[in-house]
Amino acid sequence: MAISTDRIIAIIAMVIAVASLCCCVYLAQSDDSGDDDSMTEYERIVHCADQVRKYTDSEPEVAIILGSGLSAVVDYVDVEAVVPYSSIDGFPTSTVAGHAGNFVFGKMGGTDVVIMQGRVHYYEGYDVKDVVLPIRVMHELGADTLILTNAAGSLRYENEPGTFMLITDQISLVESPLVGKNIPQLGDRFFGMKDVYNKELTQVIKEAAENHGIEMAEGVYVQYSGPQFETAAETEMYRIWGADAVGMSTAVEAIAAQHMGMTIAGISCLTDMATGMTDVSPSHEEVQRMTEKMSGQLAQILEEVLSRYNMADF
Ligand code: HPA
């Protein structure tokens, strides 16, 4: 008996429909399967850390992230190993000029450190979980303390370009890196964000700056996604909110570090006045020029902080 073309089409359509249904059920089941996703992300962290360990057996106590143009701080480190991000399978690499892409292991002020020479930014198109992956890896490698540095626009006329600002608190306008299933190996689902920036460590940084005669302001940092600089209206809004510096990094990293219970400090290098506060519009070139100028002083501060690190009680 001959089968008509219509019948063949109907049978093919039915087979496709049944296959699609099976596929949907399978996907829905794997979505509901408890910790699979979180284990995958945790395994990624461990996988990256294991690869780094092939290059060094260093056990860093302190992790430092260097912002745009601040890579020269590494000149003050007794370097033991340099691990390029590109050599770590599954690791994001920065695409921005002025951002080298290395983990630098060594001693600074006698303390074992791991330094991120260049960070990954949300505006590069990475998932926010990729942005915080390096912090999670450094924690997995042993670091309990995190010192975040960045370049930022000043939102206060009294804090002129060239001034350092200790971050006392933050406002994040970027999605949280903790959205999605919790990773219980790292921390709890819910946790507090009071005193994210550790008061004792912040005080040590303040004293170190004073000892070197370096002016240090204090204030609230606001992170938005970038990459465009803020508008004058946004500057006005951030000022009304009580923010003192604006930039495109740091806050999401502090959230991920707080989740893991790390001791956190943050230092902004105020490289320019935010849009609308002067006639000049911020530019990446000016940001880089200023950070390169400030990196020597930042290194002096960090070296002294780290020389006191093991005597302090954080
Ligand atoms: N705005 C945003 N990010 C920045 C700025 C700024 O003025 N300066 C350095 N990073």
Give the range of the structural domain holding residue 17, as residue numbers without chain letter. 1-38
Q: Is 275 left (phi over 0), alpha (psi -120 to 50) or beta?
A: beta
Same domain for 81 and 230: yes
Same domain for 23 and 133: no
The pLDDT tens digits of the residues spanning 158-195 come to 999 999 999 999 999 999 999 999 999 999 999 999 99
Same domain for 177 and 125: yes
Same domain for 47 and 34: no
Encoded tokens for 120: 């990954």
Same domain for 29 and 101: no
* CA atoms of 87 and 209, how far apart (whole Å): 36
* CA atoms of 233 and 220, how far apart (whole Å): 18
* CA atoms of 257 and 194, how far apart (whole Å): 13
Q: Whose CA is nearest to atom 7 of ligand 1?
A: 153
Same domain for 178 and 29: no
Quick check: CB of 282 below 6 Å from ligand 1? yes
Locate the ligand 1 atom nearest the alpha carbon of residue 224 and give its number: 2
Same domain for 19 and 130: no
The alpha carbon of 77 and the centre of ligand 1 are apart by a number of angstroms equal to: 27
Encoded tokens for 297: 């002083």
Locate the ligand 1 atom nearest the alpha carbon of residue 287 and give its number: 9
The pLDDT tens digits of the residues spanning 246-298 come to 999 999 999 999 999 999 999 999 999 999 999 999 999 999 999 999 999 99
User: For the stretch 187-200, what's the b/e string if a residue is b when 16 or more beta carbons lie within 10 angstroms of its beta carbon?
Assistant: beeeeeeeebbbee
Same domain for 29 and 147: no
Encoded tokens for 256: 């991920």
Same domain for 191 and 65: yes
Q: Whose CA is nearest to atom 3 of ligand 1?
A: 247
Q: How many domains does the chain have?
A: 2
CATH of the domain at 55: 3.40.50.1580
Overall size of the chain counted in residues: 314
Same domain for 179 and 80: yes
Same domain for 182 and 212: yes
Other C-beta atoms closer than 10 Å to the C-beta of 287 total 23
pTM of the predicted structure, to 2 decimals: 0.87
- Asked if 101 contacts 107 with a C-beta cutoff of 8 angstroms, the reply is no
* CA atoms of 23 and 20, how far apart (whole Å): 5
Quick check: CB of 271 below 6 Å from ligand 1? yes
Same domain for 211 and 247: yes
